[in-house]
Structure 1
Amino acid sequence: MSDLRDAASDGGDVEAGRQRVRLTGLVLVGLLLLVTGYLVGVRSPWAAHHPRVATGTAQRVPADVPLAYFDDEHGDRVTFRLDDVVWRSGDRTGSDSIPPCLREPGQLVDVQAGLIEVTRPFGSGSYERVLSVTCPAG
Protein backbone atom coordinates (compact mmCIF):
# COMPACT_ATOMS: atom_id res chain seq x y z
CA MET A 1 0.00 0.00 0.00
CA SER A 2 2.89 2.22 0.70
CA ASP A 3 4.15 1.57 -2.82
CA LEU A 4 0.82 2.74 -4.23
CA ARG A 5 1.04 6.00 -2.27
CA ASP A 6 4.61 6.59 -3.44
CA ALA A 7 3.62 5.92 -7.05
CA ALA A 8 0.65 8.31 -6.71
CA SER A 9 2.78 11.02 -5.15
CA ASP A 10 5.43 10.60 -7.88
CA GLY A 11 2.71 11.06 -10.51
CA GLY A 12 1.57 14.22 -8.73
CA ASP A 13 5.13 15.56 -8.72
CA VAL A 14 5.44 14.87 -12.44
CA GLU A 15 2.15 16.68 -13.11
CA ALA A 16 3.21 19.66 -10.98
CA GLY A 17 6.50 19.79 -12.89
CA ARG A 18 4.64 19.78 -16.21
CA GLN A 19 2.43 22.63 -15.03
CA ARG A 20 5.49 24.66 -13.99
CA VAL A 21 7.12 24.08 -17.39
CA ARG A 22 3.88 25.01 -19.16
CA LEU A 23 3.50 28.18 -17.06
CA THR A 24 7.14 29.16 -17.65
CA GLY A 25 6.68 28.64 -21.39
CA LEU A 26 3.54 30.79 -21.43
CA VAL A 27 5.33 33.57 -19.52
CA LEU A 28 8.25 33.47 -21.96
CA VAL A 29 5.93 33.57 -24.98
CA GLY A 30 4.08 36.51 -23.41
CA LEU A 31 7.35 38.39 -22.83
CA LEU A 32 8.45 37.66 -26.39
CA LEU A 33 5.16 39.02 -27.75
CA LEU A 34 5.46 42.12 -25.55
CA VAL A 35 9.01 42.89 -26.70
CA THR A 36 8.13 42.22 -30.34
CA GLY A 37 5.09 44.51 -30.09
CA TYR A 38 7.21 47.26 -28.56
CA LEU A 39 9.86 47.02 -31.25
CA VAL A 40 7.31 46.95 -34.08
CA GLY A 41 5.39 49.86 -32.55
CA VAL A 42 8.36 52.10 -31.77
CA ARG A 43 10.78 51.23 -34.55
CA SER A 44 8.26 50.79 -37.32
CA PRO A 45 8.23 53.42 -40.08
CA TRP A 46 4.47 53.66 -39.59
CA ALA A 47 4.71 54.56 -35.90
CA ALA A 48 4.46 58.13 -34.64
CA HIS A 49 7.83 59.86 -34.48
CA HIS A 50 8.46 62.82 -32.22
CA PRO A 51 10.73 65.70 -33.19
CA ARG A 52 13.85 66.51 -31.25
CA VAL A 53 14.43 70.10 -30.20
CA ALA A 54 17.77 71.61 -31.20
CA THR A 55 19.23 75.00 -30.35
CA GLY A 56 21.08 76.93 -33.01
CA THR A 57 20.85 79.85 -35.40
CA ALA A 58 18.57 80.47 -38.34
CA GLN A 59 18.99 82.87 -41.22
CA ARG A 60 16.62 83.76 -44.02
CA VAL A 61 18.25 83.60 -47.45
CA PRO A 62 18.96 87.01 -48.96
CA ALA A 63 16.32 86.71 -51.68
CA ASP A 64 12.60 87.21 -51.96
CA VAL A 65 11.77 83.57 -51.24
CA PRO A 66 10.53 82.03 -47.98
CA LEU A 67 13.63 79.91 -47.45
CA ALA A 68 16.01 79.76 -44.47
CA TYR A 69 18.93 77.81 -43.07
CA PHE A 70 19.10 76.34 -39.58
CA ASP A 71 22.56 75.58 -38.17
CA ASP A 72 22.51 73.53 -34.97
CA GLU A 73 25.17 73.59 -32.26
CA HIS A 74 27.00 70.68 -33.93
CA GLY A 75 27.40 72.57 -37.20
CA ASP A 76 24.79 70.60 -39.17
CA ARG A 77 22.78 72.72 -41.61
CA VAL A 78 19.15 72.14 -42.60
CA THR A 79 17.36 74.17 -45.27
CA PHE A 80 13.64 74.75 -44.73
CA ARG A 81 10.69 76.72 -46.07
CA LEU A 82 9.62 79.48 -43.72
CA ASP A 83 5.95 79.18 -44.66
CA ASP A 84 5.95 75.42 -43.97
CA VAL A 85 6.77 75.45 -40.23
CA VAL A 86 4.82 76.03 -37.06
CA TRP A 87 6.37 78.90 -35.10
CA ARG A 88 6.20 80.50 -31.68
CA SER A 89 7.36 83.96 -30.73
CA GLY A 90 6.64 85.01 -27.15
CA ASP A 91 2.95 84.26 -26.60
CA ARG A 92 2.08 84.23 -30.32
CA THR A 93 2.02 81.13 -32.49
CA GLY A 94 1.37 80.61 -36.16
CA SER A 95 1.72 78.49 -39.24
CA ASP A 96 1.47 79.12 -42.99
CA SER A 97 3.31 82.40 -42.43
CA ILE A 98 6.90 83.51 -41.92
CA PRO A 99 8.11 83.51 -38.28
CA PRO A 100 8.50 87.12 -37.02
CA CYS A 101 12.17 86.70 -36.09
CA LEU A 102 13.06 85.58 -39.63
CA ARG A 103 11.32 88.25 -41.70
CA GLU A 104 14.56 90.16 -42.41
CA PRO A 105 16.81 88.46 -45.00
CA GLY A 106 20.40 87.84 -43.93
CA GLN A 107 19.79 88.40 -40.21
CA LEU A 108 21.23 85.66 -37.96
CA VAL A 109 18.79 84.73 -35.15
CA ASP A 110 19.18 82.34 -32.19
CA VAL A 111 16.25 79.90 -32.31
CA GLN A 112 15.11 76.48 -31.21
CA ALA A 113 13.97 74.15 -33.98
CA GLY A 114 11.93 70.97 -33.87
CA LEU A 115 13.69 68.50 -36.17
CA ILE A 116 12.57 65.10 -37.36
CA GLU A 117 14.54 62.53 -39.32
CA VAL A 118 12.86 61.48 -42.55
CA THR A 119 13.86 58.26 -44.28
CA ARG A 120 14.35 58.52 -48.02
CA PRO A 121 12.48 56.02 -50.19
CA PHE A 122 14.17 52.88 -51.44
CA GLY A 123 16.68 52.77 -48.55
CA SER A 124 18.87 55.60 -49.79
CA GLY A 125 19.54 57.24 -46.40
CA SER A 126 17.69 59.93 -44.48
CA TYR A 127 17.61 63.66 -43.88
CA GLU A 128 16.38 66.04 -41.18
CA ARG A 129 13.40 68.32 -41.66
CA VAL A 130 12.49 71.40 -39.61
CA LEU A 131 8.93 71.16 -38.29
CA SER A 132 8.84 74.09 -35.88
CA VAL A 133 10.76 77.24 -34.95
CA THR A 134 10.72 79.00 -31.59
CA CYS A 135 11.87 82.61 -31.85
CA PRO A 136 13.36 84.52 -28.91
CA ALA A 137 10.73 86.42 -26.94
CA GLY A 138 10.63 90.08 -27.74
Structure 2
Amino acid sequence: MIGRLVKLSVLVGLAGVVVGVWLGSTRATLGPAPLKTVDATATYENGFGRASTEDDEQQFVFDVRRIPWVSGSKVGKGDPPCLRTPGRKADVEIGYRDIRLPDGRTTADVALWIRCR
Protein backbone atom coordinates (compact mmCIF):
# COMPACT_ATOMS: atom_id res chain seq x y z
CA MET A 1 0.00 0.00 0.00
CA ILE A 2 2.76 2.47 0.95
CA GLY A 3 4.77 1.50 -2.15
CA ARG A 4 1.82 2.29 -4.43
CA LEU A 5 1.28 5.62 -2.66
CA VAL A 6 4.94 6.55 -3.16
CA LYS A 7 4.79 5.59 -6.86
CA LEU A 8 1.60 7.61 -7.33
CA SER A 9 3.14 10.63 -5.59
CA VAL A 10 6.24 10.44 -7.79
CA LEU A 11 4.13 10.17 -10.96
CA VAL A 12 1.95 13.13 -9.96
CA GLY A 13 5.07 15.15 -9.12
CA LEU A 14 6.70 14.34 -12.47
CA ALA A 15 3.50 15.20 -14.32
CA GLY A 16 3.44 18.55 -12.51
CA VAL A 17 7.03 19.26 -13.52
CA VAL A 18 6.34 18.37 -17.16
CA VAL A 19 3.23 20.57 -17.28
CA GLY A 20 5.08 23.42 -15.54
CA VAL A 21 8.00 23.28 -17.97
CA TRP A 22 5.63 23.19 -20.94
CA LEU A 23 3.58 26.13 -19.68
CA GLY A 24 6.70 28.09 -18.81
CA SER A 25 8.25 27.58 -22.22
CA THR A 26 5.12 28.40 -24.21
CA ARG A 27 3.61 31.19 -22.15
CA ALA A 28 6.54 33.09 -20.63
CA THR A 29 9.32 35.04 -22.30
CA LEU A 30 12.82 33.84 -21.66
CA GLY A 31 15.29 36.44 -20.51
CA PRO A 32 14.59 40.15 -20.28
CA ALA A 33 11.43 41.33 -21.98
CA PRO A 34 12.02 43.68 -24.91
CA LEU A 35 11.78 47.39 -24.20
CA LYS A 36 10.12 49.72 -26.67
CA THR A 37 11.06 53.36 -27.22
CA VAL A 38 9.14 56.33 -28.59
CA ASP A 39 9.78 60.04 -29.10
CA ALA A 40 7.37 62.27 -27.19
CA THR A 41 6.80 65.72 -25.74
CA ALA A 42 6.69 65.87 -21.95
CA THR A 43 5.72 68.42 -19.31
CA TYR A 44 6.11 68.57 -15.54
CA GLU A 45 2.89 69.07 -13.56
CA ASN A 46 2.42 68.68 -9.80
CA GLY A 47 5.18 66.11 -9.32
CA PHE A 48 4.21 64.05 -12.35
CA GLY A 49 5.50 63.96 -15.87
CA ARG A 50 2.96 63.79 -18.64
CA ALA A 51 4.07 62.85 -22.11
CA SER A 52 2.42 62.10 -25.41
CA THR A 53 3.57 61.20 -28.88
CA GLU A 54 3.15 63.68 -31.72
CA ASP A 55 -0.05 62.00 -32.93
CA ASP A 56 -1.36 61.59 -29.33
CA GLU A 57 -1.65 57.85 -29.97
CA GLN A 58 0.35 57.08 -26.82
CA GLN A 59 0.24 58.93 -23.53
CA PHE A 60 2.32 58.40 -20.42
CA VAL A 61 2.15 59.60 -16.82
CA PHE A 62 5.14 58.99 -14.55
CA ASP A 63 6.55 60.08 -11.20
CA VAL A 64 9.21 62.68 -12.02
CA ARG A 65 10.85 62.15 -8.61
CA ARG A 66 11.59 58.48 -9.33
CA ILE A 67 12.00 57.93 -13.07
CA PRO A 68 15.51 57.01 -14.30
CA TRP A 69 16.80 59.47 -16.91
CA VAL A 70 19.62 60.26 -19.32
CA SER A 71 20.56 63.77 -20.42
CA GLY A 72 23.65 64.08 -22.59
CA SER A 73 26.40 62.25 -20.69
CA LYS A 74 24.60 62.53 -17.34
CA VAL A 75 22.50 59.74 -15.87
CA GLY A 76 20.27 59.88 -12.82
CA LYS A 77 17.14 58.75 -11.08
CA GLY A 78 14.47 61.31 -10.33
CA ASP A 79 14.18 64.98 -11.29
CA PRO A 80 15.39 64.87 -14.91
CA PRO A 81 16.94 68.21 -15.94
CA CYS A 82 14.51 68.72 -18.82
CA LEU A 83 11.47 68.39 -16.52
CA ARG A 84 12.29 70.68 -13.61
CA THR A 85 10.26 73.71 -14.68
CA PRO A 86 6.48 73.28 -14.30
CA GLY A 87 4.58 73.71 -17.56
CA ARG A 88 7.68 73.78 -19.78
CA LYS A 89 7.54 71.34 -22.70
CA ALA A 90 10.53 69.10 -23.39
CA ASP A 91 11.32 66.69 -26.20
CA VAL A 92 12.10 63.27 -24.73
CA GLU A 93 12.57 59.66 -25.69
CA ILE A 94 10.65 57.24 -23.48
CA GLY A 95 11.59 53.64 -22.81
CA TYR A 96 8.42 51.73 -21.99
CA ARG A 97 6.77 48.33 -21.69
CA ASP A 98 3.28 47.13 -22.48
CA ILE A 99 1.94 45.75 -19.21
CA ARG A 100 -1.06 43.42 -19.19
CA LEU A 101 -3.63 44.58 -16.66
CA PRO A 102 -5.38 42.22 -14.21
CA ASP A 103 -8.41 41.79 -16.48
CA GLY A 104 -6.12 39.82 -18.82
CA ARG A 105 -7.24 41.62 -21.98
CA THR A 106 -6.15 45.23 -21.57
CA THR A 107 -2.58 46.50 -21.75
CA ALA A 108 -1.11 49.81 -20.64
CA ASP A 109 2.09 51.53 -21.75
CA VAL A 110 4.27 52.11 -18.67
CA ALA A 111 7.24 54.50 -18.88
CA LEU A 112 10.41 52.99 -17.39
CA TRP A 113 12.97 55.72 -18.26
CA ILE A 114 13.30 58.95 -20.21
CA ARG A 115 16.05 60.56 -22.27
CA CYS A 116 16.08 64.35 -22.44
CA ARG A 117 16.68 65.55 -26.02
1:122: how far off?
3.6
Structure 1 counterpart of 2:8: none
Q: Give the direction of change, closer, same or farther, for the CA distance of 1:123–1:47 in structure 2 (3 Å limit).
A: farther
Structure 1 counterpart of 2:92: 111
4+ long deviations beyond 4 Å: none
Greater C-alpha radius of gyration: 1
Map 1:1-138 onto structure 2 (within 5 A): 40=26, 44=28, 48-61=32-45, 63=46, 66-75=47-56, 76-95=58-77, 97-136=78-117
Distance across 2 between alignment mates of 1:119 and 1:44 = 13
Q: Alignment identity in percent?
A: 24
What residue ranges of structure 2 are gaps of 5+ in the alignment? 1-21
What residue ranges of structure 1 are gaps of 5+ in the alignment? 1-35
RMSD (Å) for aligned C-alpha atoms: 2.3
Distance across 1 between alignment mates of 2:68 and 2:101 = 23
TM-score using structure 2 length: 0.70
Give the strand-richer structure, 1 or 2: 2
1:56: how far off?
1.1
TM-score using structure 1 length: 0.60
